[in-house]
Structure 1
């Protein structure tokens, strides 16, 4: 506390001051100033004594009491820089304060020891403010402290990658930067190991299928923002095809060779009620007829393609050879043996009577020339060359 003492003595030539704080001063007439210090937490009182003297040795004494209130100190710490929206942590370290008034530098006034406040910077440049704390003690004493604070702008990242979905071999993606205006830096990660620092990267060909995560980091001197998007390139659709089929006699076994591309799974329908999921199946047809074979191929992305071979397999019926002989015992060489041909699905017949003679007739009549026991065989055939043999032993 600075105190100015005004000299009101009369006739004095010397002034002997005792300020009550352990200090004093001997002066001539006139005003004098003194600074009192109070480092305690309570009011201190100082008894100031003045002894005025004349040249004749006469003196007079006066006494005044000075009260010095305890000091108040404004002190705080806070984060001095940050990205918008910025909420600095304010920690009050003031001493002797009873009231607090904060000027946040943007026209906002707050009270309390450690207020919370959020700064916004919607520009593209740093914004600087001065935070001022005015503390007041219970005795009305005040102290002030200023601290600067910087609020950095934050970019707003945004972009659009198109198309979102496409099917290979189409795999080219275009980029449109939708970030907020400003002198920003750009860092692209296209999701396949490719990067770019351009504001709008050139169209990018991924060259394969898959799901790719694209990210864009927009940054200023201190702050940044990130935007992300997925693009999907679907696997190519499968193409179903196969080789196999043909015709033959029942039972007919057919080997199918799968020539499909971009396929992972298969479903066969052989046209006779039988199916298979094998890649290259082998199938046996037991019933004569004409069959349409269908192959459905499934790709990586779940897409499917079907290939149909109409009348791919033709299974011909077999001839059925059968006959009876009448009589089964004859007198040679005069008595004949009559054949009764009961064959089915046959147009061609080859008889072997077991005695070295043959016939191609439908129902031949045979005369044996010597006595004995003979095996008679009939081979019946048809237009599709599907023969059958019947042997009557010891006829």
Structure 2
């Protein structure tokens, strides 16, 4: 066991063993103990190491774009120990070969190995450092992602070493001279992206591949975009064959994840419809159809099958919207925008025309009371929701 100084006993149970990592030029005290069940005995051994192994440190390996570099070995305060640099691989010239911290010049392209050798107290040890020299520029770049769904926008991070101008080729017909551009690949495919860095000494290129996955296309159909109260039912159908997940928003606060949902709108209005899909690879697409669904009042028009006009004098056929008169022939209607009413006698002669929904037939023709009997009506026009109507039928004038 160790009882003083430094050291590692490789096999503490053996009477003959190796001790490593001894403290330099200090007493390193070790104890060997022998014992039986009834007694024991010990002997101590002091070891002083002059080994320079733990002192030889040439520093960290380095990379340079210049033909020179600074090297820094561990400084030893003991003047009885000297150090010296030497070239073990590649080339190099030292400004001061016996200084721990010095410049080495004339490096060759590639790996240059420098050795720092210590000598003292009859011992010698060394450590080596490698200097990699490459002429600039050295092209390089990273990306935030290497694959994704189309359209795929990628941020390119230029890691080129040294001064240079840049030319990017994205293999989709687009290029850039920015240092670190963002680029969007609109279509799916495998793209070879190449960066060319041009400097004063040389030109260097590097390429990486980007995979752009095809995205589904969000598309849908609806049976009718114009709906009418009181039952405005919209049947939606997905037209995205590669999709496996669906999200709908119908514009009235209601949503669905069905493939082909049916939705009933509660109020009149104009509604946007949003649709998103996702495929097996997780790629998504969405579409917003603005002012897509129009829900309006259906509009109505109901004519009577008989009326009894005032025989004393004509009244002009005018009535109010909330009136229910039996002496004028007119329809009960709602939400009429344009209107034309024509009345025909039994011989097909047109005897009355009105283009005002609040003016009906008062039963007079050319200032005379029309005869009792059957008459025909024809009404045409449009409702406020844009829907056209054409109504016709027979009614009885009763005296």
| TM-score bracket, shorter-length normalisation | 0.3 to 0.5
Provide TM-score, normalisation by structure 2.
Answer: 0.44
Larger Rg computed on CA atoms: 1
Provide TM-score, normalisation by structure 1.
Answer: 0.45
